[in-house]
C-alpha cells in the first residue's frame, strides 16, 4: 500500500499529466506570453518573494547553516530581477517543438518525417538556490513541458512563493496553472517516491551531489539524465604555446573553481615540463591554487604537495589542482580517459596531428583544443540557457538546452499503403 506521501505525490503527478497535453499543444505565442506574464509578476511582487525568502534565511541561520549555504539561499531585489530577466530571455529563444529533424520518402510512396515534440513532464530535483524554480520552469514551459519540481526543504518557503507567482502568470496567458507543479513535501522519502512516479515523469533531471545521483541509480524507475561530476583536465602538449597554456590553465582553474567545467587536473608532456611547469605552478600558486603532484611534477616544483591516486580522480570544486607529467600524447590520452569523468577535456598544442588525435581518442562530452574548459556551458555554446550538463551518453551529452527537453515522433503520411 502506498504511503500517504506517495498518494499525495501521485495526485500531484496526475495533475501534471492532465496539464501535459494542453501544454504540449500550446502555441509558441501562448507559451511566450505565459513566461512574460510570470516575469511581470515577479517584478511587481518582489516584496512578497523577499518576505518568503526571509523566512527560509532565518530558519537556516537559526540552524547554524554555513555562510556559503545562506548566501546561495538568500534573494535580494537584484536576484529576483535576474530571475524575471531569465524568464524574458527564454521567451525570446526559438521554440524547439515542431522542428522537422529529418524526412524522406520511401519507394512505396510513404512520406516519413521525424518531428521534435515536447517530452511531456520534466521532473527536476534540486538543492538550495530558489532561482532554479524560475529558471527550470522557464525552460520546461518554453519547450512545451510541465515543470514538476522538487526543491530542498531549506528553500521551501521561497520556492512555494515563486511557484505561486509563476502559476498565476501562466494562467493569465491561458496555460494550465499546473504547467508548474511544485512538490511541497521535501522529506527524503518523498524524493524517493518522486523518482518512482513512472508514467508521471517523462524525464528526471537531478541537480545535486553524489548522494542524489546514487539514490537515483538505486531507486528511480522513471527515465533520467545524469548531470554528473566534472573532473576536467588541461593537457599541455610538447608543442604547446606556453603563454597560451598559461592563460588557458589559469582561466580553466581559477575563473570559477566551484563549477563542473572548471579544470581539476593539469597534465604536462615531459618534454616541456622542465620549462613549463615551474612557470604554470608559480602563476597558479600566486592565484591561491594548492597543487598536488606526482613525483615527477614535485621534482620540478618542490613546494607542491603529493597527490594520492584518489586525488587524480577527484573533483575538488575549489582552488586545488592535481598535476601529472606524462611521456607522450598517447600517455596523456590514456591518463585523461582513465581519470576523467567524461565531462570536458582540453589540449593545448600547436600540432595539428596531436590536436586531431586528442579530439578523436578522448572519450568525453566535450573535447577542446586551445580553449578553456570553462566554455562547455549552454550559454557559451549559444544555446541561450541551460538546464544542466549531461555526462551520460544516452539522450543528451554535454550542455542541455531547450532541444534536449524534447523527444521526436515519426509522422508517416500515405495513401492507403499496406505491408506485403
Q: What is the DSSP letter of 399?
A: E
Q: What is the DSSP letter of 195?
A: T
**What gap in Å lies between CA 97 and CA 402, rounded to an integer?**
9
| Interface pick for a second copy out of 58, 92, 306, 412 (rule CB under 8 A) | 412
| Interface pick for a second copy out of 4, 211, 310, 419 (rule CB under 8 A) | 419
H helix or E strand, kind and range, residue 41: helix 28-44
C-alpha cell, 130: 530558489
Min separation Cβ 127 and a second copy, Å: 22
| Interface pick for a second copy out of 4, 104, 302, 309 (rule CB under 8 A) | 104
Q: Is residue 210 involved in binding a second copy (CB under 8 A)? A: no
Alpha carbon 400 to its chain's center: 7
| Interface pick for a second copy out of 202, 237, 264, 294 (rule CB under 8 A) | 202
**Number of residues in contact with a second copy, rule: CB under 8 A?**
67
Q: Are 271 and 238 in contact (CB under 8 A)?
A: yes
Q: Is residue 58 involved in binding a second copy (CB under 8 A)? A: no
How many C-beta atoms surround the C-beta of residue 397 within 10 A?
18
Q: Is residue 392 involved in binding a second copy (CB under 8 A)? A: yes
Q: Is residue 411 involved in binding a second copy (CB under 8 A)? A: yes
Q: Is residue 374 involved in binding a second copy (CB under 8 A)? A: yes
**What gap in Å lies between CA 228 and CA 343, rounded to an integer?**
8
Residue spans of beta strands (DSSP E) within 110-245? 111-118, 121-126, 146-150, 180-182, 203-207, 232-236
Q: Judging by DSSP bridges, how do beta strands 121-126 and 146-150 pair with one another?
A: parallel
Helix 28-44 / helix 46-62 crossing angle, nearest 10 deg: 70
Min separation Cβ 358 and a second copy, Å: 10
Q: Is residue 306 involved in binding a second copy (CB under 8 A)? A: no
| Interface pick for a second copy out of 355, 387, 400, 402 (rule CB under 8 A) | 355
| Interface pick for a second copy out of 38, 223, 292, 311 (rule CB under 8 A) | 223
Min separation Cβ 353 and a second copy, Å: 14
What residues between 20 and 39 interact with a second copy by CB under 8 A? 21, 24-25
| Interface pick for a second copy out of 143, 301, 397, 400 (rule CB under 8 A) | 397
Q: Are 303 and 245 in contact (CB under 8 A)?
A: no
User: In sequence order, what are the residues at sequence separation of 6 or more whose Cβ sits closer than 8 angstroms to the Cβ of residue 4?
Assistant: none
- Of 26-34, 181-189, 322-330, 378-386, the segment contacting a second copy by CB under 8 A is 378-386
- Of 80-88, 169-177, 290-298, 356-364, the segment contacting a second copy by CB under 8 A is 356-364
- Of 28-36, 124-132, 246-254, 297-305, the segment contacting a second copy by CB under 8 A is 246-254
**Residue among 349, 369, 325 nearest 239 (CA):** 349
User: Which of 51/360 has CB closer to a second copy?
Assistant: 360
Q: Is residue 372 involved in binding a second copy (CB under 8 A)? A: yes
User: In sequence order, what are the residues at sequence separation of 6 or more whose Cβ sits closer than 8 angstroms to the Cβ of residue 242?
Assistant: 236, 272, 275, 276, 279
How many C-beta atoms surround the C-beta of residue 274 within 10 A?
12
Min separation Cβ 99 and a second copy, Å: 12
Q: Are 257 and 317 in contact (CB under 8 A)?
A: yes
Q: Is residue 248 involved in binding a second copy (CB under 8 A)? A: yes
| Interface pick for a second copy out of 221, 258, 290, 308 (rule CB under 8 A) | 221
Q: Is residue 95 involved in binding a second copy (CB under 8 A)? A: no
- The torsion angles phi and psi of 282, rounded to 5 degrees, stand at -60, -45
The footprint of a second copy (CB under 8 A) covers 21, 24-25, 104, 106, 110, 112, 117, 119-120, 198, 202-203, 217-218, 221, 223, 225, 241, 244, 247-248, 250-252, 255, 337, 355, 359-361, 363-372, 374-376, 380-382, 392-395, 397-399, 407-419
Amino acid at each position: 500500500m502506498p504511503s500517504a506521501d506517495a498518494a499525495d505525490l501521485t495526485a500531484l503527478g496526475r495533475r501534471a499529466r492532465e496539464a501535459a497535453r494542453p501544454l504540449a499543444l500550446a502555441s509558441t505565442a501562448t507559451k511566450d506570453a505565459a513566461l512574460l506574464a510570470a516575469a511581470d509578476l515577479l517584478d511587481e511582487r518582489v516584496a512578497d518573494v523577499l518576505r518568503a525568502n526571509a523566512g527560509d534565511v532565518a530558519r537556516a541561520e537559526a540552524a547554524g547553516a554555513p555562510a556559503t549555504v545562506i548566501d546561495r539561499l538568500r534573494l535580494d531585489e537584484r536576484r529576483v530581477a535576474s530571475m524575471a530577466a531569465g524568464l524574458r530571455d527564454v521567451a525570446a529563444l526559438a521554440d524547439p517543438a515542431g522542428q522537422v529533424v529529418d524526412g524522406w520518402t520511401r519507394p512505396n510512396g510513404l512520406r516519413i518525417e521525424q518531428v521534435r515534440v515536447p517530452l511531456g513532464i520534466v521532473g527536476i530535483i534540486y538543492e538550495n538556490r530558489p532561482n532554479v524554480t524560475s529558471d527550470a520552469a522557464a525552460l520546461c514551459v518554453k519547450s512545451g513541458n510541465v515543470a514538476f519540481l522538487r526543491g530542498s526543504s531549506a528553500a521551501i518557503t521561497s520556492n512555494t512563493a515563486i511557484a505561486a507567482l509563476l502559476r498565476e502568470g501562466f494562467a493569465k496567458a491561458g496555460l494550465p496553472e499546473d504547467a508548474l507543479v511544485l512538490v511541497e513535501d521535501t522529506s527524503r522519502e518523498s524524493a524517493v517516491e518522486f523518482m518512482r512516479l513512472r508514467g508521471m515523469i517523462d524525464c528526471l533531471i537531478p541537480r545535486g551531489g553524489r548522494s542524489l545521483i546514487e539514490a537515483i541509480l538505486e531507486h528511480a524507475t522513471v527515465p533520467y539524465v545524469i548531470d554528473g561530476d566534472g573532473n576536467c583536465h588541461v593537457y599541455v602538449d610538447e608543442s604547446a604555446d606556453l603563454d597560451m597554456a598559461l592563460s588557458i590553465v589559469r582561466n580553466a582553474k581559477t575563473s570559477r573553481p566551484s563549477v563542473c567545467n572548471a579544470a581539476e587536473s593539469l597534465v604536462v608532456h615531459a618534454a616541456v615540463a622542465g620549462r613549463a611547469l615551474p612557470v604554470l605552478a608559480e602563476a597558479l600558486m600566486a592565484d591561491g591554487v594548492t597543487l598536488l603532484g606526482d613525483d615527477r611534477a614535485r621534482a620540478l616544483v618542490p613546494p607542491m604537495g603529493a597527490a594520492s591516486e584518489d586525488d587524480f580522480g577527484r573533483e575538488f570544486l575549489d582552488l586545488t589542482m592535481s598535476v601529472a607529467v606524462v611521456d607522450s600524447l598517447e600517455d596523456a590520452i590514456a591518463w585523461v580517459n582513465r581519470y576523467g569523468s567524461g565531462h570536458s577535456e582540453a589540449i593545448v598544442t600547436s600540432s595539428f596531428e596531436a590536436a586531431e588525435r586528442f579530439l578523436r581518442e578522448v572519450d568525453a562530452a566535450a573535447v577542446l583544443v586551445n580553449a578553456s574548459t570553462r566554455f562547455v556551458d549552454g550559454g557559451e555554446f549559444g544555446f541561450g540557457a541551460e538546464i544542466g550538463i549531461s555526462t551520460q551518453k544516452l539522450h543528451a551529452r554535454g550542455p542541455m538546452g531547450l532541444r534536449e527537453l524534447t523527444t521526436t515522433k515519426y509522422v508517416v503520411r500515405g495513401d492507403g499503403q499496406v505491408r506485403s
